[in-house]
Amino acid sequence: MMNYEALADRVLQGETLTDAEAMAILESPDDDLLPLLHAAYKVRKHYYGNKVKLNMIINTKSGLCPENCGYCAQSIVSKAPIEKYAMMKQEEIVAGAERAASVNAGTYCIVASGRGPVNRELEIVIDSVKEIKSKHADMTVCACLGILKPEQAKRLKEAGVDRYNHNINTSAAHHSSITTSHTYDDRVNTVESAKEAGISPCSGVIVGMREMKEDIIDMARSLHALDADSIPVNFLHAVDGTPLEGTNELTPRYCLKVLSLFRFINPTKEIRISGGREVNLRSLQPFGLYPANSIFIGDYLTTAGQESDRDRQMLEDLGFEVDLEPLKKTPATV
């Protein structure tokens, strides 16, 4: 058996996993799962103790997107029967922040479908964020509005946006199998624009989109190179009517190996078990919090999450605590 604990110690000393070691984690026998999780927890605990960050999403604009992302129920090519609506009003967005505060979600994520925000949409988000920040100064506000121009990033920063999410989603090599309406570089450039504006970058992936294990390793390394502070790891919940309909290639044990790999490659970062947690990790969800230190509570963009009471119970049962610390720069990348 691979010495996972020694690997954790090396990671804590600033070493990087070799490709062979990274692959060995993804291909590790199921019998190794507990030693692997134990080692991943050693790294997670070093930086985050037993704290779990809670994030809550609001989908401020649903569907009506001209892009063709194969996993997304909101895209122009999706036939999924989702609710479609234009950008919400400021009051509704602010009311969502109140709901997030009431369940101790430290981060409120303002998400909108589309290639990128038009002026009117950007202004609504800006005004909403100003109002939210005037009421909840310690709440981390994250915006996720698609491809962003540098001047738009600047305006969001001035309004008080702490974090910007734009996922790389998959590896550079696999990207064109998932969407052809924008490029991998478009995505990376948006993360860079957010960083240049002084906004903390959040960027993550969707696992289970018919990629190879090499792609998973590449994604984890790309996010390390991008220095993403927050890394949502989604597990594909293929929605009927989307191009990826019927794709169901993950097991709960494999998801845990992926999360452990992400912790080893991005030891200091906030790693969030994101969309698809309930359907893919199923009864093993609690184990995911040994490598990861963050979850979404409430619903996802177009699919329902489990009730926040059950998540709260899960944390309590694990002996973990909600992380209420306001955002600060994650520890320097090793």
Residues that bind ligand SF4 (CB under 6 A): 65, 67, 69, 72, 74-75, 113-115, 146
Closest CA to 144 of 116, 94, 110: 110
70 versus 96: smaller Cβ distance to ligand SF4: 70
Shortest distance, CB of residue 29 to ligand SF4, whole angstroms?
A: 35
CA distance 39 to 19: 18
Shortest distance, CB of residue 315 to ligand SF4, whole angstroms?
A: 29
295 versus 301: smaller Cβ distance to ligand SF4: 301
69 versus 153: smaller Cβ distance to ligand SF4: 69
CA distance 284 to 185: 35
Shortest distance, CB of residue 304 to ligand SF4, whole angstroms?
A: 18
74 versus 200: smaller Cβ distance to ligand SF4: 74
Residue with tokens 């390793």: 217
Integer angstrom CA distances of residue 86 from 83, 124, 220: 10, 12, 34
Phi, psi (rounded to 5 degrees) for 333:
-65, 135
167 versus 230: smaller Cβ distance to ligand SF4: 167
The encoded tokens of residue 12 equal: 């804590």
Shortest distance, CB of residue 115 to ligand SF4, whole angstroms?
A: 6
64 versus 322: smaller Cβ distance to ligand SF4: 64
Closest CA to 213 of 183, 171, 246: 171
Contact 147, 181 (CB under 8 A): no
Residue with tokens 């906030």: 270
Shortest distance, CB of residue 28 to ligand SF4, whole angstroms?
A: 31
Closest CA to 7 of 35, 48, 45: 35
Shortest distance, CB of residue 75 to ligand SF4, whole angstroms?
A: 3
Residue with tokens 């990033």: 153
The type of residue at 13 is Q
61 versus 257: smaller Cβ distance to ligand SF4: 61
Shortest distance, CB of residue 210 to ligand SF4, whole angstroms?
A: 17
Residue with tokens 């790389």: 168
CA distance 235 to 37: 18
